[in-house]
């Protein structure tokens, strides 16, 4: 699940730069990896000379998370937490790394601790709600509904509704999921993932024609949205429209080289060797 807003902590804006830049080619990704490793080395060198400077450690954690080195990031967070165990920001940082590592249960626990320590922490609440939604936990609805009543969460409204929709989809309440996605699109037609997720509700129902319609709507909003073309191709395959599927797999791959499933599909369909 990809929330539209890149959620900035009020402590560390840079911490939540998206690590899923789908527009990068493999070459760009390799360059980014080298640059990231270089930054990590530089920060480690500086930190070895000034271990008391928390901002250096925070920057190192950011780079480690972006480089998928979650255990190393968590070890650095522990150093900060030993100094300030009740810091909402550091608890959030730990939860963030745990979530990206795939430890959902532990991430939920630390997001809850971060919220408890802060009192009001909309970003942490939304991240927690998204994990609840993905696990089918009804607390997702309770937390989202509470957030919608908070004036400070207005900038997150679309994402909050998106999390509610994900929850409904998870528990197979298709009617409410579709209704929620419709509300999101009505309020913000540029929320591309709402079209995709709405299409996936129909896809899971076996209504591939309607699913295709929703995926196509996303590409009408942005003709550079690789995911839209990819899912159009998936539904076209389901409907035995092989030439159309091949064309759209190629479009998605041209826009995003990281969609390996599109490349595999083209090989399977005999379009490439």
pLDDT per position as a tens digit, 179-190: 999 999 999 999
- Under 8 Å between Cβ of 80 and 87: yes
Average pLDDT over residues 114-139: 91
- Under 8 Å between Cβ of 193 and 4: yes
- 224: tokens are 């550079």
In 10 A of CB 48, how many CB atoms?
9
108 lies in the same domain as 2: yes
Residue 133 lies in a domain: yes
How far apart are alpha carbons 249 and 233 in whole angstroms? 6
CB-based contacts of 207, cutoff 8 Å, min separation 6: none
Q: Tell me, what DSSP letter sits at residue 10?
A: S
Burial class (CB in 10 A: 0-12, 13-18, 19+), 222: middle
158 lies in the same domain as 73: no
Residue 183 lies in a domain: no
Range of the domain at 223: 189-273
101 lies in the same domain as 35: yes
171 lies in the same domain as 225: no
Q: Tell me, what DSSP letter sits at residue 272?
A: -
* pLDDT digits 0-9 by tens, 197-228: 999 999 999 999 999 999 999 999 999 999 99
Residue with tokens 């369909």: 269
109 lies in the same domain as 3: yes
Helix 104-118 to helix 88-101 angle, to the nearest 10 degrees?
160
Confidence of residue 4 (pLDDT cuts 50, 70, 90): low
Percent of the chain predicted with pLDDT > 70: 87
142 lies in the same domain as 172: yes
CB-based contacts of 148, cutoff 8 Å, min separation 6: 157, 160
50 lies in the same domain as 66: yes
Residue 182 lies in a domain: no
87 lies in the same domain as 163: no
The number of folded domains in the chain is: 3
205 membership: H or E segment, kind and range:
helix 192-205
Mean confidence (pLDDT) of the chain: 88
Question: Looking at the predicted structure, is the pLDDT value of residue 25 above 60?
Answer: no
How far apart are alpha carbons 98 and 106 in whole angstroms? 7
Where a domain ends, among 87, 119, 151?
119
Residue with tokens 């390799």: 30
37 lies in the same domain as 107: yes
46 lies in the same domain as 81: yes
CATH code of the domain covering residue 38: 1.25.40.10
204 lies in the same domain as 233: yes
114 lies in the same domain as 127: no
In 10 A of CB 56, how many CB atoms?
19
């Amino acid at each position: 699940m990809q929330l539209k807003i890149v959620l900035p902590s009020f402590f560390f804006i840079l911490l939540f730069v998206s690590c899923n830049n789908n527009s990068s080619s493999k070459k760009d990704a390799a360059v980014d990896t080298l640059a990231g490793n270089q930054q990590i080395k530089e920060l480690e060198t500086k930190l070895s000379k000034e271990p008391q400077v928390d901002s250096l450690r925070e920057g190192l954690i950011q780079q480690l998370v972006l480089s998928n080195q979650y255990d190393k990031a968590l070890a650095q967070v522990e150093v900060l937490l030993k100094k300030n165990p009740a810091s909402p920001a550091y608890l959030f940082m730990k939860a963030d790394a745990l979530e990206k590592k795939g430890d959902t249960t532990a991430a939920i626990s630390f997001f809850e601790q971060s919220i408890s320590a802060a009192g009001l922490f909309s970003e942490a609440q939304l991240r927690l709600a998204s994990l609840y939604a993905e696990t089918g936990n009804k607390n997702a609805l309770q937390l989202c509904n509470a957030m919608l009543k908070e004036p400070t969460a207005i900038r997150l409204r679309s994402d909050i509704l998106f999390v509610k929709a994900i929850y409904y989809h998870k528990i197979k309440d298709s009617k409410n999921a579709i209704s929620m996605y419709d509300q999101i699109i009505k309020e913000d037609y540029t929320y591309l993932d709402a079209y995709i997720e709405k299409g996936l509700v129909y896809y899971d129902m076996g209504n591939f024609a309607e699913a295709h319609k929703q995926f196509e709507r996303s590409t009408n909003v942005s003709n550079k949205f690789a995911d839209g073309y990819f899912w159009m191709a998936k539904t076209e395959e389901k409907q035995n429209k092989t030439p159309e599927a091949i064309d759209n797999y190629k479009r998605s791959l041209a826009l995003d080289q990281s969609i390996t499933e599109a490349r595999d599909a083209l090989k399977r369909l005999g379009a490439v060797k």
